[in-house]
């Protein structure tokens, strides 16, 4: 009854509005099309969720509103939340409840604490307020993903498959942009929004060229490649009944090329640690003949391919041996980007120690030095901005989710669910290492990934839900099928 009362007049008003817009000015056709898409996403929770996941993997896209940079993922996050509420309302569900867990409460408390600290200590309050809004919008990723806890596990797996599939897509897109650059000498979609990044290291008459796909920078792209590699490797090595294993294997090879050409040492190290986590959990299975074949085949394909990648990479950058120098100086912080990040870290540590080490200096307060100044590590950023208190809360938010996930991994007997858990936790290890050298926590992808881990950790597998998942609505079966 409620659906019919609300739906019919809303559709009539919407059609009337669109007709009026086109009658006034035919140029409003694009706006009308956007309005149609908006209403469709608002009415379809599934479509809104899928679109949101696509949006977070294209965080390079931005547009300006009143002097502030807005990413599509921010708007799509709100849209996904509204869509979930609309879905329940239009299906006669009278009391709308949302998932509120401990991590959300802690994060809100942390933001209130940082706001107070910023009001008291920050010398650039406007930058602090903008930064707080930015990270709160990014945290919508955790909030949105947490709402699918009521869905059937198979539907949750589909969302994760899309998330990982977008990693493969970003790799293909970046490589297409690179090939286009090699053939034409120009940038596909321009240097600003194309899939390539230049200038990480500059020299006389040369500049490094790296892959970044649709992500904000090469470091984030390489981290996403590491996440994708670890997850897909888990699917191959697990005992779960996973389809399309040849395609998964080829995707791993492709993403290995992507992560190398992403030219980010922290992502390489994180990927190794993520694979190590996979080996710890699948130690006995790693010695099976089929897995030996998989590893050997990967090496045989990658070794000769690396020589080709190096020659093309160095030729495009204009400096011989540039890629090899990155590998041979893996832990060198005396030159290049390593020296740059070391310098930034020293500045932030000195600021933190000399001013307010316990309470913090305020969010984005480092910008009092220069509007473009930034802190290269998410952990160091929380330490500088919110002190020991804020960093402790932040670590507890992450640690509590990972602890719950590790317990679920050890207890579940469902091999498919265990594989998804190990793959996502292993991928998150890549993020933790990579984001210790770039502040990726200000983007939704970090929180979406953590949200998936939290949702997975609340199932034992085979659809059996663990207790104390959080405050949630008891949604009917048709909502589970919609997911």
Beta bridge partners of 63: 70
198, 200, 211, 324 from 203: Cα distances, Å: 12, 10, 19, 17
3-state secondary structure (DSSP) of residue 199: strand
Nearest CA among 294, 259, 94 for reference residue 174: 259
pLDDT mean over 326-349: 70
pLDDT of 154: 86
Nearest CA among 262, 197, 221 for reference residue 58: 221
Task: Please give the mean pLDDT across all residues of the chain.
Answer: 78
pLDDT of 57: 87
User: Scanning the structure block, which residue is given the tokens 């009415």?
Assistant: 43
pLDDT mean over 418-424: 94
Q: For residue 392, what pLDDT band results from cuts at 50, 70 and 90?
A: very high
How many angstroms separate the CA atoms of 181 and 195, rounded?
Answer: 10
- The region, left, alpha or beta by phi > 0 then psi within -120 to 50, assigned to residue 387 is left
Does residue 117 carry a pLDDT above 50? yes
Helices within 185-288 (DSSP H only):
190-193, 218-237, 245-261, 265-281
pLDDT mean over 415-428: 94
Nearest CA among 429, 422, 431, 428 for reference residue 281: 422
pLDDT digits (tens, 9 = 90+) for 11-50: 444 555 555 555 555 555 555 556 666 666 666 777 778 8
pLDDT of 336: 59
Which residues have a Cβ under 8 Å from the Cβ of 444 and sit 6 or more positions away? 55, 56, 59, 73, 74, 77, 137, 138, 139, 140, 141
Q: For residue 88, what pLDDT band results from cuts at 50, 70 and 90?
A: low
pLDDT mean over 290-297: 68
pLDDT of 331: 61
Nearest CA among 416, 446, 421 for reference residue 432: 446
Q: For residue 167, what pLDDT band results from cuts at 50, 70 and 90?
A: very high
Domain extents for the chain?
102-482
pLDDT of 477: 34
pTM: 0.83
pLDDT digits (tens, 9 = 90+) for 363-381: 988 888 888 888 888 999 9
Catalogue the long-range contacts made by 114-117 (C-beta closer than 8 Å, 24 or more residues apart): 114/360, 114/362, 114/363, 114/385, 114/386, 114/390, 115/363, 117/356, 117/359, 117/360, 117/361, 117/362, 117/363, 117/385, 117/386, 117/387, 117/390
How many angstroms separate the CA atoms of 414 and 462, rounded?
Answer: 6
pLDDT digits (tens, 9 = 90+) for 454-475: 999 987 544 454 444 444 433 3
- The region, left, alpha or beta by phi > 0 then psi within -120 to 50, assigned to residue 438 is beta
Tell whether the torsion through CA atoms of 383, 384, 386 and 389 is positive or negative.
positive
Q: Which tokens in the block code for residue 184?
A: 């034409």
pLDDT of 222: 93
3-state secondary structure (DSSP) of residue 100: strand
């Amino acid at each position: 009854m409620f659906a019919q009362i609300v739906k019919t007049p809303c559709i009539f008003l919407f059609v009337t509005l669109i007709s009026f817009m086109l009658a006034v000015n035919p140029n409003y056709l694009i706006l009308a099309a956007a309005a149609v898409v908006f209403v469709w996403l608002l009415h379809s929770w599934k479509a809104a969720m899928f679109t949101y996941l696509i949006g977070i993997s294209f965080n390079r896209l931005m547009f300006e509103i009143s002097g502030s940079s807005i990413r599509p993922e921010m708007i799509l996050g709100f849209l996904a939340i509204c869509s979930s509420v609309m879905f329940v309302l239009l299906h006669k569900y009278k009391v709308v409840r949302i998932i509120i867990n401990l991590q959300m409460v802690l994060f809100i408390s942390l933001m209130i604490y940082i706001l107070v600290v910023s009001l008291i200590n920050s010398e650039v309050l406007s930058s602090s307020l903008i930064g707080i809004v930015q990270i709160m919008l990014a945290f919508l990723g955790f909030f949105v993903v947490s709402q699918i806890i009521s869905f059937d596990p198979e539907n949750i797996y589909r969302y994760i498959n899309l998330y990982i599939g977008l990693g493969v897509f970003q790799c293909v897109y970046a490589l297409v942009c690179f090939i286009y650059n090699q053939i034409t000498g120009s940038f596909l979609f321009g240097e600003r929004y194309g899939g390539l990044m230049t200038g990480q290291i500059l020299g006389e008459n040369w500049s490094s060229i790296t892959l970044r796909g649709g992500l904000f920078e090469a470091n984030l792209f390489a981290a996403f490649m590491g996440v994708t590699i670890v997850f897909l490797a888990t699917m191959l090595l697990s005992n779960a009944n996973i389809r399309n294993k040849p395609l998964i294997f080829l995707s791993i090879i492709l993403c290995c090329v992507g992560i190398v050409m992403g030219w980010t040492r922290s992502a390489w190290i994180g990927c190794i640690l993520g694979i190590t986590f996979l080996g710890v959990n699948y130690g006995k299975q790693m010695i099976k003949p089929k897995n030996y074949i998989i590893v050997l085949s990967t090496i045989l394909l990658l070794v000769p391919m690396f020589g080709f990648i190096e020659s093309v990479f160095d030729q495009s950058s204009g400096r011989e041996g540039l890629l090899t120098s990155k590998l041979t100086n893996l832990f060198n912080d005396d030159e290049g980007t390593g020296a740059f990040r070391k310098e930034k870290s020293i500045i932030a540590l000195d600021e933190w120690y000399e001013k307010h080490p316990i309470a913090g200096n305020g969010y984005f307060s480092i910008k009092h030095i220069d509007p473009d100044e930034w802190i290269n590590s998410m952990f160091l950023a929380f330490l500088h901005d919110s002190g020991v208190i804020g960093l402790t809360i932040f670590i507890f938010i992450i640690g509590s989710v990972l602890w719950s996930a590790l317990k679920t991994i050890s207890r579940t007997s469902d091999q498919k669910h265990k594989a998804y858990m190990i793959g996502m936790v292993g991928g998150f290890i890549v993020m933790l290492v990579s984001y210790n050298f770039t502040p990726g926590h200000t983007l939704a992808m970090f929180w979406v990934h953590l949200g998936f881990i939290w949702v997975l950790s609340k199932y034992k597998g085979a659809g059996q839900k663990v207790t104390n998942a959080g405050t949630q609505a008891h949604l009917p079966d048709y909502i589970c099928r919609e997911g």
